[in-house]
Structure 1
Amino acid sequence: MELRHLRYFVAVADEGHFTRAAKRLGIGQPPLSLQIQQLERELGTLLFQRLPRGVALTEAGRAFADDARRILRDVERASEHARRVASGELGRIRVGMINSAPFHPLIPQVIREFRRRYPNVAFSLEERTTPGLVSAVRGDAVDVAFVRPIHGSSEGLDTETILDEDMVVALPAGHALAGRRQVPLLALSIEPFVLFSRAVGAGLHDEIVAACRHAGFSPRVVQEASQVTSIVNLVASGLGLSILPGSMQHMHTDGVTFRPIARPVPKARLSLIWRHADRDAPQLVRLRELIRELAPAARRARRA
């Protein structure tokens, strides 16, 4: 028995006539009659009582019709479900991010808009360091992640740059440099630094150190931290100053003053990574398309 047998049977049951059912199905009446006869032989019972003008369901036919209609509805629902999953409208996506990512307005906007457009996609968030997220993506613990530059091999991963934002100086409130409109990096040469630990933030750590060396000095690091929020709090305590992604100014932490850096300005790159093998996963494709749609406006807003 095949689905076409059920469709043919239901059409005849609905129309009560082989000719009208054949016209509805777009096939000839003799082939339709033959298919119904084959179905009856397989079931071992008559489904229709043949009348001078049409057909009527037998008792067995009425029982079979209820089940046939239910099966066809279930098949249609299953087909629709598969189509919606394939189009990215259903399913799940597990997103990882570093703890500084949500401070850039683009990231919360992407999350809100994705959940608005695809309310039937289960959306989960997990926060880790960049190395932790690389491992999580490779290990299928998350599907996609917002990360800083990866230190080491990116084999098996696809990477797409989302934005390169200017970095700024984070100064303890009342610091002598806080009154400047812009701060040259060389002015920081004798200052104590609080920086990202290279073990968890090699990309930003190396960018900052390289920028300082280009300005003519090596930063005097007195404390390292693994989370950008911890760094801001350590700056607020007066332990030292730091260089951070510009979006961290949205923290509005008491005891910290942010100032732009005079050119050349070091950049903080934020990228999206995912498993190369899953590059065509529907939900992932939808997320990447949304980021590409929203990112240009976010960049213009930051420059304005």
Structure 2
Amino acid sequence: MELRYLRYFVAVAQTRNFTRAAEMLGISQPPLSQQILRLEREIGTPLLKRLTRGVELTEAGEVFYQDACQILELTGNALEKAKSIARGVSGQLSLGFAGSTAFHPAIFTLLRRFQTRYPAMLLQPHEASMAKLMHELEEGTLDVAFVRLPCESSKAFNLQIIASEAMHIVLPSSHPLSHSNTLSLQQLKGTPLITFPREIAPSLYESIISACLRSGFQPQTGPQSPQISSLISMVEAGFGFAMVPASLCRIHAPNVSFHPCDDPALTSDIALAWRRWDRSASLQHLLQELKARSRDRQS
């Protein structure tokens, strides 16, 4: 059964007149009458009583009319949903976060702008190590990922830097230098360095170790933290000092102190990563919001 049969029948049932229904549908009256007859033959029972001045619904026609209206409404809704998803204004967008990126306000400013503009879009956040995020992005289980640069596998994807931040030194409040302002790594030569596992962020790990070597010492590595964001808790427990991105200084920890580092090369960029071939409308909308944010910052 064709949907146009349902539309024709509903129009006749609502107007109770073939001529007015034909005008409403934008067709002539004879073809409309023929289509309704075909519908009745297909169903096997009359749906309309033809009267001198119009039509009335039969008992079967009354029931069929209610169902036809629901079918047309559901079909219309399904079409609108499909069109809306194709336009990127609804559906879902899966977002990956490297653990330490979740603290930077630039990311949530971007997502808030995007959600305000596209309220019907469901954002699905997922946190994992950068290596796992890149794998999931490549496999298509993630649409985009917020990662820290440098990141080795990032060359396989498009990248747009969102923010650049310095690395800060974190000390326990009991450390003799905890009341200092800017510190050099050389001053911490005898203090154990708390690191995260290298596989979580290999390049960032290497940049921290290299900074220590540039300062003239091989760092004495202490216990490792499972994530970058949990380094602060281990410093608070007294295991040593750590290096964290500046945005993590927003974490409230009463028994630690945060200090700028005098090594200007020790920085970390946060970037949005996505597959090079992905041209989905929802992704393009997110990138447009990112460009708009950049323009606002420059103006």
TM-score, normalising length from structure 1? 0.80
Residues of 2 paired with 1:151 and 1:111: CA distance? Answer: 23
* Structure 2 stretches lacking a partner, 5+ long: none
Matched, 1:181 2:173: no
Residues of 2 paired with 1:174 and 1:296: CA distance? Answer: 44
- How many Å apart are 1:26 and its aligned residue? 1.5
Give the secondary structure class of the aligned counterpart of 1:259: strand
Instruction: Tell me which residue corresponds to 2:248.
Output: 248
* Count of aligned pairs between the two proteins: 297
- C-alpha offsets along residues 217-242 of structure 1, whole Å, 9 cap, x if unaligned? 35413224331233223323443322
Structure 1 range deviating more: 181-190 or 126-135: 181-190
Residues of 2 paired with 1:153 and 1:102: CA distance? Answer: 20
- C-alpha offsets along residues 245-273 of structure 1, whole Å, 9 cap, x if unaligned? 00111113233211122362421122223
Give the secondary structure class of the aligned counterpart of 2:201: helix
Instruction: Tell me which residue corresponds to 1:169.
Output: 169
Residues of 2 paired with 1:150 and 1:38: CA distance? Answer: 68
Residues of 2 paired with 1:77 and 1:28: CA distance? Answer: 28
1:171–1:242 Cα contact (<8 Å) kept: yes
In the TM superposition, 1:153-164 aligns within 5 A as 153-154=153-154, 157-164=157-164
Give the secondary structure class of the aligned counterpart of 1:169: strand
RMSD: 3.2
1:48–1:55 Cα contact (<8 Å) kept: yes
Describe the shift of the 1:235–1:47 C-alpha distance in structure 2 as closer, same or farther (beyond 3 A): closer
In the TM superposition, 1:283-298 aligns within 5 A as 284-294=283-293
- C-alpha offsets along residues 112-131 of structure 1, whole Å, 9 cap, x if unaligned? 56566655544443322111
Kindly provide the amino acid, as one letter, of the partner of residue 196 in structure 1: F
Matched, 1:198 2:203: no
Kindly provide the amino acid, as one letter, of the partner of residue 197 in structure 1: P
* Structure 1 stretches lacking a partner, 5+ long: none
- How many Å apart are 1:204 and its aligned residue? 1.3
Instruction: Tell me which residue corresponds to 2:219.
Output: 220
Instruction: Tell me which residue corresponds to 1:15.
Output: 15
Residues of 1 paired with 2:138 and 2:48: CA distance? Answer: 59
Instruction: Tell me which residue corresponds to 1:273.
Output: 273
Describe the shift of the 1:246–1:155 C-alpha distance in structure 2 as closer, same or farther (beyond 3 A): closer
- Percentage identity across paired residues of the two chains: 38
Kindly provide the amino acid, as one letter, of the partner of residue 221 in structure 2: V
Residues of 2 paired with 1:132 and 1:269: CA distance? Answer: 18
In the TM superposition, 1:54-65 aligns within 5 A as 54-65=54-65
